[in-house]
Amino acid sequence: MNLFKSKHKKKLEQLEKAISEGRITSSQDVARILQNLNSTLPLRRDSNMDKYVKEGFEGNSDVFGILMTLATKSAQIPIKIYKVQKNGKEIEQPNHEFAQLLRKPNFYQSQMEFRMAWHLFKYTTGDVMVRAARYSRGMSQGRIDKAGMMLLPPQNIEIIAKGNNPLGIYRAFINEQFDIAGENVWHERFPSLTYEDGRNFRGTSPLKVAMNIINLQNAGQEQAAKLLKGGFPPGIVSFDEMQSGLTSTQEQQWRSKYKSKYQKDISIPIFTAGKVDFTQIGYSNLKDLQVLEMDENGTKKLCRTLSVPGMLFGVGETTYNNMLMAEKAMYQNRVLPDVQQFVDGLNTFLPAYGDGLIAKADTSGIEALQADREKMVNVLEKAIRNGMASPNDGAEALGFERSDDPGMDDRYIQSGLIPISMSSGEMPVDENNAEYNRRGLENGM
């Protein structure tokens, strides 16, 4: 009840008073009144969401570049559909119905475009909303209908409570108004810690957190563009030897002559006959505006907001090694968790397509993560060589399938190793034989 209290405080107070006075005693009456009260309540959303898209993402080259990079990296990671056997073995299903849907989510988008937009909406608005209506009956019950998965723009969506369901209706305002039932919308979000008016059901935009610095960047770039187009701000022209100053007529004549003679081309120097002084009151060059410094600072803060290393986007010193570590950090801290959220969402649909189906991200092609894989290979190789693991254990640890070949589950030791006590060539033959026999070895001397 407190969820919508700020919007309907008076009505709720009247309801509470009626209950306290005994005029409403039935729980069914209370439920009915609340249902009527909440049936058309919109959840409060960020009114600046459209600004994050137009001024943040579309209006700032640094923001656009960073978010496009992250979205592209995320969309490039293959998502595969597997069938889990009773023995736990996973068999890829490249031609499965859902795998085909993923390759062509709707009539106008490929998987790459769909997934890029999916992540861009999340980074920009904090919300991802996908129209994914499912059949309610028949052999295809629970499966996504022929329209497929269609992305909805969160900045144009209002969520309306329906009865006791705060996510009952997703109301879109795109050229015209239309409603989508809440159960037909796949909604993911950046978590929100604000619960008033149901704002916890909407995501927190990373651009909202960084909007002040983005606005500062935009203002600096806009001012620089104006200076380059119209020239630098004027100063004050004064005549040192004139004590009485200019009359209004003389001032007007001087302005007109200046405009007609010099303002057409600011690159032409000004020549005067008398002693003239000029006092600068604006910026004399673009460096004074510190546009580049503002851009770099803004990029650094935006990267910090998104948990990605700034050096990947031109901030800070770079070497091959720290770039490799930075790219690895970008995948581990931002890209892979976001891709996993996408995969988790897909897995909520898969039970309707058959038992034992799962979606998984394939990270084997990410070069930045292969350095750790090489270290793991070296460790496993030593473990197998020294009998601490079987070849199948090593294959499984690296993400490969276990083999049914004989001996792949056995553990091995190196036959070339001999005890130190047997290394001396002066050991008597009988002692040598006794040592072999004690260790259960054949062919003693």
Amino acid 119 reads H
Q: Tokens at residue 177, please?
A: 């108004």
Is the CB of residue 159 less than 8 Å from the CB of residue 201? yes
For residue 232, what pLDDT is reported? 55
pTM: 0.68
For residue 331, what pLDDT is reported? 96
For residue 245, what pLDDT is reported? 61
CA distance 251 to 248: 5
For 56, 57, 295, 312, the CA distances from 214, given in Å and listed in that order, are 7, 10, 9, 19
> Which residues does 178 contact at the CB level (< 8 Å), separation at least 6?
171, 172
The 3-state DSSP class for residue 177 equals strand
For residue 297, what pLDDT is reported? 74
The 3-state DSSP class for residue 84 equals strand
For 37, 342, 354, 361, the CA distances from 78, given in Å and listed in that order, are 46, 12, 21, 6
For residue 5, what pLDDT is reported? 44
Residues in the chain: 445
Closest alpha carbon to 128 in 301, 338, 395? 338
CA distance 54 to 281: 34
* HSE-up of residue 304 (Cα within 13 Å, Cβ side): 10
Beta strands per DSSP E along 93-240: 127-131, 150-152, 157-162, 165-174, 176-181, 185-189, 236-239
For residue 433, what pLDDT is reported? 67
CA distance 310 to 194: 29
Amino acid 220 reads G
H-type alpha helices, 269-369: 291-306, 320-330, 336-347
H-type alpha helices, 126-247: 206-209, 211-230
Which regions of the chain are under pLDDT 50?
A: 1-6, 35, 37-39, 243
The 3-state DSSP class for residue 88 equals coil
